[in-house]
Amino acid sequence: MKKELKVIGQPIPKQDANIRASGKAIYGHDIVLPGMLYGAILRTEHPSAIIESIDVSEALKLPGVVCVITADDVDVNNIGYKRDHPILKKGEACCTRDELAAVAAETKAIARQALKLIKVKYKVRKGVYDAFEALEDSAPQINQFITGKFENKNIAEKFQYGHGNLEEEKKRSRHIISRRFTLPRMTHACMATSNITASYNNLDKKLLLYSSTQVPFLYQRDMAHALKINPSDIRVIQPVIGGGFGSKLDMHPFEPICALLSMKTGRPVQIIYSREEEFIASPIRQPMIIDLTAGVDKDGHFTFREINIIKDNGAYTSWGATTPFVIMQSFSSLYKVKACSFNAMAVYTNNVFAGSFRGYGNPQATFALERVIDLLADELGMDKAGIRLLNANEKGEITGQGLHYDTCGHKECLETVIEKSNYFNHKTSGKNDRYKRGIGLASMLHVGGGAKIYRSDGCGTTLKIDPYGYCTIITGSNEIGQGSETVLAMMAAEELGIELKKIKVINTDTDVKPWDVGVHASRTSFVAGNSLLGAIRLLKEKLNSKAAQLLNIKDADFEYADNKLISGKSGERIALDKVVREMHFSEPNELAIASFFYEPSSKFQDKEFKGNVSGTYAFAAQSIEVEVDTYTGNVQVLDIYVAQDVGKVLNPLLLGGQIEGGIMQGVGYALSEELLMHEGRILNPNFHNYKMLTASDTPEIHFYPVETHDKEGPYGAKGVGEAPLIPTAAAIANAVCNALGLEMLELPITPEKVLKALDDKKKRKK
Amino acid sequence: MNFEIISPTTTDELLVAIEKCQNRHFRFGAGCTDLLMELKKNPADDLTVINLAQVVDDRLTNLTKTSKLYRLGSMFTAGRIVVNDELKTHFPVLHESAHNLASTQIRQVATVGGNLCTASPSGDIACALVALGARCEMLNTNGKSRSVAVTDFFTGPRKTVLKSNEVLYGISVPLNNKETAKIYSRFIKIGTRRSMECSVVSLACHIQTDAKGVILAAGVAIGASAPTIRLAKDACSSLIGKTFKKITRKEKEEFAATVLSYASPITDIRATAWYRKEVLFNISKSIFE
């Protein structure tokens, strides 16, 4: 019989909600260390220029300036996924973010003042701001540190994938649709701007970093490589993190720069971005051009997909260049499709470089794919819900790419939103001719049990129970606002039968916690949860045997409830704290402590990118209703119906937060958010003109969790973090096209683009 | 950002402070919602800010009514306009312009005077006041006052007729006609999001009709469409004598074309001139729909 869950599944508030809401949370911005200096970074004035000289002499003379560094003053390695990114730039500037010099001073104001005194001689050159232009023979080589692995000097990374017989499937297709989709630059816009405090002890040569990285152990390794020091001499402490969303997956130049300033001065140094700097110098969602050709047979079955993607890599290569890992999954494996041919390349330009962003390429892929599905349905004269249900993924399916769908809620998600949104009977007109209503469907596939992109996708946990019956979970995983601390504490409360207030989660210090790959790929609840459950199992073995000895019974099968161990057979009970004390203080004088490392069953993909890359897969569908004002082009999102295969709801309150937050990022991606650039410069580095939506723009969100109880997941749960954002823009675009009877091939769908499309349609009619 | 602050507590002290600053670079700080952003962008080392927030003077901060007009002190906040039922009843356009401004938090400090003195072509309350035929009352350091129509207050983007020895003291809004039986009064703000938005285009209209629906008076102003907020005078006068509900499609379009003739919008990162014109034409028509 299944054990009844007491804590898991309950709407328990985030355990750190109190400190966050009351202002007591200590963010990186709040840290002040004795003798601390303030760092500031001088960035290039021109996105593409020869740097003839940098003169820091006047800056050094300014009272209060302690240290000024340029590339000439440091012995470091390049950083970045391809190690093509110098921390401080020498000889040339290749994008508007380029760091030329850095200052450490007694106050922030002096540091800023000193930047103005640094004289840089530039020889401005013509930049390359278009990826297609960068691929032309006449284009200059933009990044000087690449290995020349590819046929073109400006290709940073390439991905090729295929399954099935493409040509045969093309022949078999009744209809074929080809479209080019253009995706914008979107930025994370975290509430807390980027920050770091570095403290180097030049006596023992150890470096302490207060950093808001999402991946502390990879960061420790990257930092050590950059600074040419031993990784274990670096201790990373994460203060409360004010937003990640993928932006803190890469290590960025300001971080080793801050460490270098501390190493040079022997004093702690802090660097905090201004909001403008955050917009200019933090990573973005990859802009890309997707050429998609897809076919359908006479019955509506998908036959093939052929994809060519050009990603604007910017001047340096970040993790963002690897998003085709995820993009190809959606094209190869979302809905059943017989054949797929996928090509993607990241091309260097003098634009700002991209990074990782919630969804990791998937919102882009899903937009293109789900738009084309609507067009295929139109060609066939088939309804758009029907074609999706016909091709939906199923439990037990092994896709062309080798993903194993041991559980799969795809169809149920689609059916749920189709029914709940009254899809077939929605209103088509607004209150008068001016307003047009439309409804759009989209679904998504994403990894739901981590993603094996590093040698290990595992997570370690050390669990201890103290002599007072309190539990401490030392987990490798990180809290970046997503609620992992709360979910882990809930699991321990469930399993150990103790109250949440008796559970502490320690997760911020690389010197203390065991290894974990970091927060990405919607993996934390799944991987860290399984790791914790493994540690609990081990610890229970010890506790059970001691309890049986103390009760003088043979049976060591105990239930844990009300701070007690209760014998399954006799019903005899003993207090948990007593068992722990007896373990500690009498024979066998042992600690109530256990460690466990969980490695998901997922596999590395082979050279052809085939293989079961995640422990499980998440599915979702959204049905979105919009009203378009044909006078202004404004799109009002009325209702969003979302069904998501979450495996099992661990905490409905936190899950709801992920859903709503993700969807609003998706609505912004669909309608308003774009970092505008002209010739390598960002035109809207502020919230005034970067149109992030507000609470008053939030539509009604109707959420229906679908529970498929994955055997791999903790309590059957799957990862949930990225999914809510992924199909939103696609569904909104489909709804707008449905309302107006025209095509939108570009995001965001701004009022001006809508009005222009309507105007073009009118002109075509004439 | 580093500046000196003078915080007078009476109007007399305020006038003395202005007098004292005549040879200095000074700015008024009312709600400071625009000023802080501007100073962050262009920090000035030698700046003095005369802080109006501490001045205790009903004429500066409150709303009064006479037989002919409502008078808002220039420090009357957008938030107080929003919650004032009388203003909402008589001048919906003013209520809506305030209600659509920024966010609830910002509206509690943002002032009518600030919205006018910033002289932004996209000022919302300012646009409504132009449509309402309001007048600005300015007080100089000698204690003398003068007034101009709000429509004449602006001389260019960020420029007004306010002299260096003057402060905007109050704004008077004429009461609706005695014969007015119905008002069609709206503020139409176009932007991407519903709050924290700066108008991409705006249109304020305040149309009064008699019991039979015949238009007695009309004020139509456009924002973010020209270097200053403009009163579409000819469009207003073209409506007088017409019956609001019987305006034909042709008349609507002629009216919209006349409104549009007052626009000379620019292309910037928020919208192209083409978009601003298209939308202005459409929303002008929409007044009668």
Residue in A752, A469, A535, A739 with CA at minimum distance from that of residue A631 = A752
Q: How distant, in Å, are the alpha carbons of A4, A496, A562, A565 from that of A1?
A: 9, 19, 21, 19
At A3, the pLDDT band (50, 70, 90 cuts) reads confident
Q: CB A697 to CB B195 under 8 A?
A: yes
Q: What are the strands of the beta sheet with A155-163, ordered from one edge?
A: A155-163, A339-348, A302-314, A288-296, A175-183
Q: Is B147 helix (H, G, I), strand (E, B) or coil?
A: strand
User: Which amino acid, A356?
Assistant: S
Task: Please answer yes or no on whether B195 and A634 come within 8 Å at the CB atom.
Answer: no
Coil/strand/helix, residue A50: strand
Cα gap A186→B88, rounded to integer Å: 40
* A88's tokens: 């401080």
| Residue A488, min C-alpha distance to chain B (Å) | 37
Task: Determine the pLDDT at residue B2.
Answer: 80
Edge-first strand listing for the sheet containing B47-51: B4-6, B47-51, B25-29
Q: Is A472 helix (H, G, I), strand (E, B) or coil?
A: strand
- Cα(A754)–Cα(B8) distance, integer angstroms: 51
Q: Say how far residue B280 (Cα) sits from the centre of its chain.
A: 18
What does each C-alpha distance from A695 to A449, B187, B188 come to in angstroms? 31, 22, 20
Query: CA-to-CA distance for A724 and A726, rounded, in angstroms?
Result: 6
CA distance A697 to chain B (A): 6
Q: Residue A168 and residue A158: Cα distance in Å, rounded?
A: 26
User: Token pair for residue A61?
Assistant: 């003379």
Distance from CA of A115 to the nearest CA of B (A): 16
The partner residue sitting opposite A694, judged by closest CB among B195, B278, B289, is B195
Closest approach of chain B CAs to the CA of A683, in angstroms?
8
Give the CA distances from residue A599 to residues A327, A329, A515, A519, in Å, rounded to whole numbers and listed in that order.
24, 22, 11, 15
Interface of A with B in 663-722 (CB under 8 A): 671-672, 676, 683-684, 687-689, 691, 693-697
Chain B residues touching residue A750 (CB < 8 angstroms):
192
**CA–CA dist A620, A646 (Å, integer):** 9
Q: What is the pLDDT of residues A99-121, one digit of tens each?
A: 999 999 999 999 999 999 999 99
Residue B190 in contact with residue A632, Cβ under 8 Å? yes
How confident is residue A2, by pLDDT bands cut at 50, 70 and 90?
low
Question: How far apart are the C-alpha atoms of A686 and A684, rounded to whole Å?
Answer: 6
CATH architecture of A284-451+606-765: 2-Layer Sandwich (3.30)
pLDDT tens-digit profile of A42-94?
A: 999 999 999 999 999 999 999 999 999 999 999 999 999 999 999 999 999 99
Mean pLDDT, residues A450-457: 88
User: Does the beta-carbon distance from A691 to B198 stay under 8 Å?
Assistant: no
Helix axes A324-333, A362-380, angle to 10 degrees: 20
Q: Do residues A309 and A290 lie in contact, with contact meaning Cβ atoms separated by under 8 Å? A: yes
The phi and psi torsions of A333 (rounded to 5 degrees) equal: -135, 0
Residues belonging to chain B with any Cβ–Cβ distance to chain A shorter than 8 Å: 37, 103, 190, 192-196, 198, 200, 269-272, 275, 278-279, 282-283, 285-286, 289
Please answer whether residues A155 and A347 qualify as being in contact, where contact means their C-beta atoms are separated by less than 8 angstroms.
Answer: yes
Domain boundaries, chain A: 17-24+458-598, 31-126+191-243+248-281, 284-451+606-765
> What are A306-360's pLDDT values in tens digits?
999 999 999 999 999 999 999 999 999 999 999 999 999 999 999 999 999 999 9
- Report residue B63: phi and psi, to 5°: -105, 130
User: Does a cis peptide bond (omega within 30 degrees of 0) precede residue A588?
Assistant: yes
Residue pLDDT, tens place only, A117-161:
999 999 999 999 999 999 999 999 999 998 778 999 999 999 999
Contacts of B200 in chain A (CB under 8 A): 751
Contact (CB<8Å) A691/B192: yes
Asked if B192 and A750 come within 8 Å (Cβ–Cβ), the reply is yes
Q: Give the amino acid at A178.
A: S
Contacts of B279 in chain A (CB under 8 A): 631-633, 751, 755
3-state secondary structure of B140: strand
Q: Do B275 and A751 touch (CB under 8 A)?
A: yes
Q: Under 8 Å CB-to-CB from A415, ≥6 apart: which residues?
A: A389
Average pLDDT of chain A?
A: 96
Give all domains of chain B, ordered by start, each with its CATH number: 4-50 (no CATH), 58-174 (3.30.465.10), 182-286 (3.30.390.50)
In whole angstroms, what is the distance from residue A724 CA to residue A408 CA?
A: 16
User: What's the gap between Cα B202 and its chain centre?
Assistant: 11
Phi and psi at A288, nearest 5°, equal -155, 160
* List of residues 6+ apart from B7 with CB closer than 8 A: B51, B53, B54
Torsion of CA A205, A209, A214, A215, to 10 degrees: 10
C-alpha to C-alpha distance for A761 and A395, rounded to whole angstroms: 43
Distance from CA of B177 to the nearest CA of A (A): 32
Q: Which of A631, A669, A756 to mutate to test the interface with B (most CBs of B within 10 A)?
A: A631
Residue pair A479/A485 in contact by the 8 Å Cβ criterion: yes
- What radius of gyration, in Å, describes the C-alpha atoms of chain B? 19
User: Residues of A185-201 as b/e, b for ≥16 C-beta within 10 angstroms?
Assistant: bbbbbbebbbbbbbbbe
- Mean pLDDT across the stretch A362-373? 98
Please report which helix (H) or strand (E) contains residue A237, including its range.
strand A234-237
What sign does the CA torsion over B247, B250, B256, B261 have?
Answer: negative
- Give the integer Cα–Cα distance in Å for A518 and A217: 7
Q: Which amino acid is at B108?
A: Q
Mention every residue, 6+ apart, whose C-beta is less than 8 A from residue A484: A475, A477, A478, A507, A519, A524, A525, A528
**Contact state of B283 with A693 under an 8 Å Cβ cutoff:** no
Check pLDDT > 60 for residue A704: yes
Type and span of the H or E element at A59: helix A57-61
Instruction: Tell me the helix, strand and coil percentages in chain A, rounded to 5.
Output: 30, 25, 45
Cα A320 to Cα A287: distance, rounded to the nearest angstrom: 10
| pLDDT score for A116 | 97
- CATH fold of A31-126+191-243+248-281, please? Aldehyde Oxidoreductase; domain 3 (3.90.1170)
| Residue A512 pLDDT > 80 | yes
Q: Do B279 and A631 touch (CB under 8 A)?
A: yes
Question: Which of B37, B269, B289 is closest, CB to CB, to A683?
Answer: B269
B198 contacts in chain A (CB < 8 Å): 688
**Amino acid (one-letter) located at B162:** L
B279/A689 CB distance under 8 A: no
Q: In the block, which residue shows the tokens 């088939």?
A: A382
Q: What pLDDT shows up at residue A1?
A: 40
The separation between CA A316 and the C-alpha centre of its own chain, rounded to angstroms, equals 19
What is the C-alpha separation between B238 and B140, in angstroms, rounded?
A: 38
Note whether A17-24+458-598 and A284-451+606-765 share their fold.
yes
Question: B interface mutation test: which of A678, A752, A759, A761 has the most B CBs within 10 A?
Answer: A752
pLDDT over 70 for what percent of chain B?
A: 100
Structure confidence by residue, pLDDT tens digits, B146-161 = 999 999 999 999 999 9
pLDDT at B44: 82
State how far the Cα of A181 lies from the Cα of A309, in Å rounded to an integer: 10
CA A696 to chain B, closest CA, distance in angstroms equals 6
Q: Which two tokens stand for residue A704?
A: 């229906």
Interchain pair A671, B192: CB under 8 A: yes
Alpha-carbon span A141 to A156, nearest angstrom: 11
Positions of A annotated as catalytic residues are 722
Kindly report the number of other CB atoms within 10 A of residue A109's CB atom.
Answer: 14
Contacts across the A-B interface (CB distance below 8 Å): 56
In angstroms, the CA A564 to CA A368 distance is 55
Nearest to A463 by CA among A524, A528, A539, A527: A539
DSSP A393-422: --TT-B-TT--B-SS--HHHHHHHHHHHTT
Q: What φ, ψ does residue A305 adopt, rounded to 5°?
A: -140, 135
Q: Which CATH class is domain A17-24+458-598?
A: alpha beta
Host H or E run for residue A746: none
